[in-house]
Structure 1
């Protein structure tokens, strides 16, 4: 069977790659080729000591299918058609097990490089896709300042280079990267260029036109020139897309790996996987969207870490979604919008295994997985371990509670 298209009208703008078409980008931007650079003066960077890749599962992935609480009897009672049999789960620990289609992650799991943190989410339920995405990525509840948590993270040092933050996708940065710190977005690294033709002459003309312009647009153009010049080593890095599965996420992560291997000082990278809005057609192990999405996720992530070579030791990936799904299945082999969810942390600095203050499940039509861990505390563990950044600055107002899945935290 094949699963139908997502039924949420607000979600119709999110494609297979999870790339936004209808989100407004506030502020002045400068477009170079198919890339976009937010305005601000720029400077060259040293290679990054740590790199954070944030992979967003757009559409609200069902964490109870990805990481199954198979010893909670409500799970099977609430999902008589779509529950995953306990004997098919991977890496069981007496409480949780991984979806069988995540098998490509098992070597990383066995090596202690994958942590699954369950019952995480926003402190207050928000079942609107875009409102929840905005809240998760802003990570500053109650604030009217439009600045994402990743922009605050890279804005904690003195650099003003657009090379520090990169979104692999169409030329609109996600809320997490938006803010005063300049960042870039492009479909692929090769898209960041001066249009073909007499590039030397065009570059000279552009500098003549913009170098003395002190307006926001002029500053943005100079940042764009900096990005084009500085991104050369990334564009020279081998494109190993052929070593990935031929999926949208595989192709995207192949380009993310080029950015990492280019080693131009990029510290944070965002990328999306779409079509997780499983109101219907989530399916079983024999058919449906969940098994296909889970396999695409696992194979792409495994290939990505295998592609990093000597840079593997500095890259940490966080996988998250805007909210989870209801506990109880619906009549369409799917699940409606919920609250709590699972997050994954993979790679450098991770102490692998399952982490959860498990609230237990309830079998009613409106029951959600409860949130016992504020998702910002998961992100804060990563930020503190890998960057040593100020947690109050990156996550204002957070009631800090260490989760413990990162080394040194």
Structure 2
């Protein structure tokens, strides 16, 4: 996925801030882990007690910038959709599948059509955050913290990891060129890396840097030594995974940031590295301009095609047996406004759609309580969010990841009862 273009000033600042951190911390190989010595990339305390995790590997793809769910899963059965978007609505004749009436899939999702037809890909529409905001900064922070109205400051993936008891060096990995730090910020041990083959300790081949690091922190209190020792363990754990990699089953990943990140997540899963959860960023969804109609060469089409091609390759690479114990879900800080603007784009909105994919997902349909796009049903011009995104994730955490009560992860949130995931 290319760098964001034609986006709002605030999102540009978000991208620059995150990439600035990346440049200082992650582009130096194992500096990804060592950055925890001075920031939030890695834990600042020891991991939870060791345990054997038997649930799904949860892969969270953050669709940053404000994903337009009204394009991806177009409400073609709602007449007000076409009235609000005369230039960019997906025509009924172009959707490639759907639920038989209200919703249709954008044609650029074609690489994932086999998963939809096989009942492994689903969507939930009209989801959102409990306290809507159109600020990228505020919405991203709230989305990753997922505990509004509390004093909790950790990320929800960190809290989820803590409940699993998993403490392996690669239990939680943030993979790729961006850094979703808040998702994994907190006491559980995690690691961020640009890519597996780039995850090295600079100059360790010429000087015994790793050994020096271990010696340096040998007698340091655990709370201070944890980030450096976690880095050392992660380096050792990835050593056997690195090298030439040939995706299985003829899978071909696109040459994009997302393609590379998902390829490396698949490598960790297939290597039985103990991966419990992976966070991957997928940006460039802030389309105030040039979202365009559903044809090749337009921003939404091309971005969705890269996304769906990368995810389809991931599924092919793992194969049916590998995907049996993997669940992929998407999140985004907010959706887009219902009405298109004068630049064939859409501005910041609220209600959105999220995707779920995996062997335990009951797919081939769009879940949710559709509020309609009738102007009287909108909230300040936005799609009303009728489902808290955390409740959808909560259903997955309980049924696929083996978690019990969710209060630790999502305070005061009950899991959804859609039945979108089969219990393990």
- The alignment's TM-score, normalised by the length of structure 1, stands at 0.90
**Secondary structure of 1:39 counterpart:** coil
In 2, Cα distance between equivalents of 1:194 and 1:400? 42
In 2, Cα distance between equivalents of 1:178 and 1:4? 25
Q: Residues 78 and 373 of structure 2 are in contact (CA less than 8 Å); yes or no, is this contact kept in structure 1?
A: yes
Cα RMSD, aligned residues only? 2.9
Equivalent pairs counted in the alignment come to: 402
Structure 1 unaligned regions, length at least 5: none
In 1, Cα distance between equivalents of 2:4 and 2:228? 43
Structure 2 unaligned regions, length at least 5: 34-41
Residue 277 (1) aligns with residue 291 (2): no
Match of 1:33 in 2: 30
Match of 2:122 in 1: 115
Match of 1:405 in 2: 420
**C-alpha spacing 1:33/1:399, structure 2 compared with 1 (3 Å):** closer
Match of 2:11 in 1: 11
Give the C-alpha shift of residue 260 in structure 1: 1.4
| 2:73 maps to which of 67, 77, 91 | 67
Deviations 1:128-172 (A, max 9, x none): 112111111111111232111110001014444442110013484
**C-alpha spacing 1:392/1:307, structure 2 compared with 1 (3 Å):** same
In 1, Cα distance between equivalents of 2:208 and 2:345? 57
In 1, Cα distance between equivalents of 2:280 and 2:4? 24
Give the C-alpha shift of residue 47 in structure 1: 7.5
Give the C-alpha shift of residue 96 in structure 1: 0.5
| 1:333 maps to which of 323, 344, 347 | 344
**Secondary structure of 1:56 counterpart:** strand
Q: Residues 234 and 263 of structure 1 are in contact (CA less than 8 Å); yes or no, is this contact kept in structure 2?
A: no
Q: Residues 35 and 191 of structure 1 are in contact (CA less than 8 Å); yes or no, is this contact kept in structure 2?
A: no
| 1:209 maps to which of 202, 208, 216 | 216
Match of 1:89 in 2: 95
Q: How does 1:258-269 map to 2 (within 5 A)?
A: 258-269=267-278
In 1, Cα distance between equivalents of 2:176 and 2:331? 17
Residue 304 (1) aligns with residue 314 (2): yes
Q: Residues 6 and 275 of structure 1 are in contact (CA less than 8 Å); yes or no, is this contact kept in structure 2?
A: no
In 2, Cα distance between equivalents of 1:141 and 1:182? 23
**Secondary structure of 1:35 counterpart:** helix
Match of 2:325 in 1: 314
Q: Residues 395 and 415 of structure 2 are in contact (CA less than 8 Å); yes or no, is this contact kept in structure 1?
A: no
- The alignment's TM-score, normalised by the length of structure 2, stands at 0.87
Q: How does 1:27-176 map to 2 (within 5 A)?
A: 33-36=30-33, 37-41=42-46, 49-92=55-98, 93-170=100-177, 172-176=179-183
Q: How does 1:378-389 map to 2 (within 5 A)?
A: 378-389=392-403
Give the C-alpha shift of residue 14 in structure 1: 5.2
Q: Residues 19 and 178 of structure 2 are in contact (CA less than 8 Å); yes or no, is this contact kept in structure 1?
A: no
163-172 or 374-383: which moved more?
A: 163-172
